[in-house]
Chain A
Amino acid sequence: MAALRSFAPAIVAALILIAPFTGWLPDYWVTLFNYIGISSLVAIGLVLLTGVGGMTSFGQSAFVGFGAYTTGVLTVHFGVSPWLTLPAALLVTMAIAAAVGAVTVRLSGHYLPLATIAWGIAFFYLFGNISWLGAHDGLPGIPALRLGGHQLIDPKEYFVVVWVAVVLAVIATQNLLNGRVGRAVRALRRSTRAAEAFGVNTAAAKLLVFVYAAMLAGLAGWLYAHFQRSVSPGPFGVVAGTEYLLMAVLGGAGRVYGAILGAAGITVLRDQLQNLLPWLFGHTGNFESIAYGAVLVLVLQTASNGLWPILFGPPPPPKPPTPRDGDALPAKTLPAPGARLLQVQDARKTFGGLIAVNDVNFEVESSRIIGLIGPNGAGKSTTFNLITGVLPLTSGAVAFDGHPLQAQTPQRAAALGLGRTFQHVEIVPDMSVIENVALGSYLLGRAGVFRAILKLDRAEEALLFATARRQLQRVGLAEVAMQPAGTLALGQLRLVEVARALCLNPVLLLLDEPAAGLRVGEKKALAKLLREVRAEGVSVLLVEHDMDFVMSLADRLVVLDFGTKIAEGVPAEIRKNPAVLEAYLGGVA
């Protein structure tokens, strides 16, 4: 059964490729399937870009246009062989996508899709106004692909070309997503902050996805040009761009196979509407456009997650590889116990007129657990963010292991060995628990995009997953490793975050309310784990509201109120400190 499962995609792929030659499929449908395949490529790119990476693009059709026009110009004007224009088409789209993406992917929120609309329209008019691209009339007379002396003109033969490309794109995309960089990309949409905290350069990851998606669109454009045998600006406008987006959404944004389903659904729907509606209403009109818009709105209103999840449920998580014996990741040498590790000196943070952190001083020594406590709004989380580089200091200094952290970024903090958890859990809900944890060891791996696509990253992946598995065992969640993280309870997710932070091989663990939502037994296990970690030489800075928990665990406590440090000392002293009692229970009387 397991064997069948792993061969199933190959069997399906083979069945697809021989389908047109069985004689069951009329030519009309073969042609339609060619268009479906070409659109699928664009939609697969969009699934990666929008569904996985969280960047909505209305402009993918422009990249299809670049692919199509590149081969059109090279073959028509310069007589270059179509096979040689394939790399040229990919390179042109890559270069343009890199340039456009460098500006676009840095945009936040809804500015990003708006920008894609703007340059989508600009490119559309550009195609229509350049004379050597044939302006609005386009370029006719593009040669067909040739195999030896044979021209691939028959839709059945072209079907094989298109669907081989689709199958390869699916495999490459799946491999990419299951690799180390792919995990970082999958974290972009829902937990950018977590990805950054474990060393992912999110801007670069976004650009990577953007270029990858554009190149798939460029490939689609190349296929389109040689199937259609002519190009004109019409199919590369923003309306087409929206259509590709609709395919990705309809299929189920985030699902690679869903892209094919969506492309098929939309292409067939449009085709049938074009045939059916004039027959129904008697005269030609833009009926398909009406129905089309209505379908889009209805899909968003009733099935905003798309059709694939409704039809096929959640995907099985990829099986992580197991390591060969003897291989191990390099271990980190930890500083001697008691050495000064983190120094916070006169740290100050103001937001407008509000002083959130007011000249706070404290130190963390290695192999110690330090608790940072205070009532709601005391400035604990802000202090945390100053140390981890999420927020810049207004004044003062933070030094870690002798390095001043003036220009601290989350990525730099991760590289120095600061592993953290988040007050509001930052995990990727549709990724398995163990993959979430493996994101923590992002900086310990090297494999990039190409190794992932070609599956040359397996040995390294095995090591990363072995580390992840070990840390999951330590927090007691080994048995849920393969579940989607979104199905876990809040308390368990906090432990997943602890395991992920441990995967970084941290020198200092920064835990933001790790015990919130845990049951007593779980809290005891967590306390035991933290003592173990301390014994290994790792320090812990703990923000916690459960006083029993923090008091019984911490070597020393730092108490903040209104952004100011009001007390510091061992737990027994802090309990009796009148200023602390006042801060917590209120002193109105």
Chain B
Amino acid sequence: MSAPLLDVRDLSVAYGRAEVVHNVSIQVTQGALVTVIGANGAGKTTLLNALMGLLGARGAITFRGRPIANVPLEARVQQGLCLVPERRELFADMPVEDNLLLGGIRRSRAERNQTLEQVFSQFPRLKERRRQLAGTLSGGERQMLAMGRALMARPTLLMLDEPSLGLAPRIVRDIFQILTELRASGVSILLVEQNARAALQVADYAYVMELGAITTQGSPAEIAQDSRLVESYLGLGGNDY
């Protein structure tokens, strides 16, 4: 088998003295949709921010065969690594179209215009609202815009942080539908989710993160049967305090 697209070895992240991610190792193979699930506070967001380069970290990150642990964020974007952050981080006072065009700022004008059409066909809703300010969009539209903006950079690996957060179930279904389509179109995806059932339904492989460490991994079917999952969410583990 060929080397994985993203290979993370023994990654640790600390805020000041407090280490919140401990020796995490994960792999994403080309074309796969891999998910990291876990309860609130497990360190999932921190892990993604470190992979993107927003946070410093110890350990090795190899992307497309090259070490990127010391590469600045903008160069990681150039190499095809993109993050849709939990808080969306849109340019609220700018129109939808400008948000998207800025997403493709590292690409050539021709590529940018071509990708814009693709994104508009993937998210017709965004095309309807192309002149509207990003700050006036609904929660679901914002999530779509955040994803569209990341896709404008033509990522090889798209990382998403809790795309379902704060969205109504029907919209969550739409978002996950789009994720499956994206994977079918050849984009590899690393999905971090609290919404475990939704994530496991679309994933090829899953990691469970608890208290900053990966505690379980396997195919979604195996994980879903694992009683530890329910435990880690609803505390049925019988730990009595």
Using a CB–CB cutoff of 8 Å, the interface residues on chain A facing chain B are 375-377, 487, 489-490, 513, 516-517, 520, 523-524, 526-527, 545-553, 562, 575, 580-581, 584-589
A548 near B195: Cβ-Cβ < 8 Å:
no
B196 near A375: Cβ-Cβ < 8 Å:
no
Query: Which residues from B are CB-within-8-Å of A516?
Result: 41
Complex Cα distance A101/B30, Å?
A: 62
Contact of A549 among B17, B39, B234, B235 (CB under 8 A): B235
Apart from A377-B166, A584-B234, A585-B196, 12 more pairs, CB < 8 Å: A489-B18, A516-B41, A517-B18, A549-B235, A552-B240, A553-B241, A586-B164, A586-B195, A587-B169, A588-B169, A588-B172, A589-B197
Query: Which residues from A are CB-within-8-Å of B241?
Result: 523-524, 526-527, 548-549, 552-553
A545 near B39: Cβ-Cβ < 8 Å:
yes
In the complex with contacts A375-B194, A490-B18, A520-B239, A585-B233 CB distance below 8 A: yes
- Measured CB to CB, the nearest residue on chain B to A571 is B235
Distance (whole angstroms) from the CB of B197 to the closest CB of chain A:
4
In the complex with contacts A517-B18, A524-B241, A588-B173 CB distance below 8 A: yes
A546 near B18: Cβ-Cβ < 8 Å:
no
In the complex with contacts A375-B194, A490-B18, A584-B233 CB distance below 8 A: yes
- 12 A-B pairs whose Cβ atoms sit less than 8 Å apart in the complex: A375-B40, A376-B165, A377-B166, A490-B18, A523-B241, A545-B40, A547-B236, A550-B235, A553-B241, A585-B196, A588-B169, A589-B201
- Measured CB to CB, the nearest residue on chain B to A586 is B195
B165 near A377: Cβ-Cβ < 8 Å:
yes
B176 within 8 A of A: yes
Complex Cα distance A585/B169, Å?
A: 12
Query: Which residues from A are CB-within-8-Å of B199?
Result: 586
Complex Cα distance A254/B236, Å?
A: 49
Complex Cα distance A523/B241, Å?
A: 7
Distance (whole angstroms) from the CB of B163 to the closest CB of chain A:
12
Kindly supply a per-residue 1/0 record for chain B positions 214-241, scoring 1 wherever the CB is within 8 Å of any chain A CB and 0 otherwise.
0000000000000000100111111111
Residues from 91 to 122 in B contacting A, C-beta threshold 8 Å: none
B3 within 8 A of A: no
Query: Which residues from A are CB-within-8-Å of B41?
Result: 513, 516, 545
Complex Cα distance A513/B41, Å?
A: 10
Q: 6 nearest interchain CB pairs?
A: A547-B235, A586-B195, A548-B235, A527-B241, A548-B239, A588-B198
Complex Cα distance A524/B162, Å?
A: 31
Q: Specify the main secondary structure of chain B where it touches its partner.
A: loop
Complex Cα distance A487/B18, Å?
A: 10
Residues from 166 to 200 in B contacting A, C-beta threshold 8 Å: 166, 168-169, 172-173, 176, 194-199
Complex Cα distance A517/B14, Å?
A: 13
- Measured CB to CB, the nearest residue on chain A to B135 is A352
Contact of A376 among B162, B234, B237, B238 (CB under 8 A): B162
Query: Which residues from A are CB-within-8-Å of B240?
Result: 548, 552
Query: Which residues from A are CB-within-8-Å of B162?
Result: 376
Residues from 120 to 146 in B contacting A, C-beta threshold 8 Å: none
Contact of B198 among A490, A581, A586 (CB under 8 A): A586
In the complex with contacts A527-B241, A586-B164, A589-B201, A489-B17 CB distance below 8 A: yes
Query: Which residues from B are CB-within-8-Å of A589?
Result: 197, 201
Complex Cα distance A526/B199, Å?
A: 34
Using a CB–CB cutoff of 8 Å, the interface residues on chain B facing chain A are 17-18, 39-41, 162, 164-166, 168-169, 172-173, 176, 194-199, 201, 230, 233-241
Q: Specify the main secondary structure of chain A where it touches its partner.
A: helix
Query: Which residues from B are CB-within-8-Å of A586?
Result: 164, 169, 172, 195-199
Query: Which residues from B are CB-within-8-Å of A553?
Result: 241
In the complex with contacts A375-B40, A585-B197, A546-B235 CB distance below 8 A: yes
Query: Which residues from B are CB-within-8-Å of A580?
Result: 234
Query: Which residues from A are CB-within-8-Å of B164?
Result: 586
Contact of A575 among B18, B176, B194, B236 (CB under 8 A): B236
Complex Cα distance A546/B165, Å?
A: 19
- Measured CB to CB, the nearest residue on chain A to B196 is A585
Query: Which residues from A are CB-within-8-Å of B172?
Result: 586, 588
Name which of B40, B164, B237 has the most chain A CB atoms within 10 A of its CB.
B40
Distance (whole angstroms) from the CB of A206 to the closest CB of chain B:
27
Distance (whole angstroms) from the CB of A368 to the closest CB of chain B:
17
Complex Cα distance A523/B237, Å?
A: 15
B233 near A547: Cβ-Cβ < 8 Å:
yes
- Measured CB to CB, the nearest residue on chain A to B170 is A588
Distance (whole angstroms) from the CB of A236 to the closest CB of chain B:
41
Name which of A513, A524, A584 has the most chain B CB atoms within 10 A of its CB.
A584
A487 near B237: Cβ-Cβ < 8 Å:
no
Query: Which residues from A are CB-within-8-Å of B201?
Result: 588-589
Query: Which residues from A are CB-within-8-Å of B196?
Result: 585-586
Complex Cα distance A513/B166, Å?
A: 20
Query: Which residues from B are CB-within-8-Å of A377?
Result: 165-166
Query: Which residues from B are CB-within-8-Å of A513?
Result: 41
- Measured CB to CB, the nearest residue on chain B to A429 is B16
In the complex with contacts A517-B18, A524-B241, A586-B198, A581-B234 CB distance below 8 A: yes
Distance (whole angstroms) from the CB of B52 to the closest CB of chain A:
20
Complex Cα distance A464/B71, Å?
A: 52
Complex Cα distance A341/B239, Å?
A: 30
- Measured CB to CB, the nearest residue on chain A to B166 is A377
Distance (whole angstroms) from the CB of A475 to the closest CB of chain B:
15
B237 near A548: Cβ-Cβ < 8 Å:
yes
Complex Cα distance A376/B236, Å?
A: 19
Complex Cα distance A549/B176, Å?
A: 32
Name which of A547, A562, A587 has the most chain B CB atoms within 10 A of its CB.
A547
Distance (whole angstroms) from the CB of B171 to the closest CB of chain A:
10
- Measured CB to CB, the nearest residue on chain B to A493 is B18
Distance (whole angstroms) from the CB of A302 to the closest CB of chain B:
19
Complex Cα distance A581/B41, Å?
A: 19
A376 near B40: Cβ-Cβ < 8 Å:
yes
Name which of A376, A527, A562, A575 has the most chain B CB atoms within 10 A of its CB.
A376
Query: Which residues from A are CB-within-8-Å of B195?
Result: 585-586, 588
Complex Cα distance A581/B238, Å?
A: 17
Query: Which residues from B are CB-within-8-Å of A562?
Result: 166, 168
- Measured CB to CB, the nearest residue on chain A to B139 is A354
Distance (whole angstroms) from the CB of B177 to the closest CB of chain A:
10
Name which of A377, A517, A545, A585 has the most chain B CB atoms within 10 A of its CB.
A585
Complex Cα distance A545/B233, Å?
A: 9
Distance (whole angstroms) from the CB of B64 to the closest CB of chain A:
32
In the complex with contacts A376-B165, A377-B166, A545-B41, A575-B234 CB distance below 8 A: yes
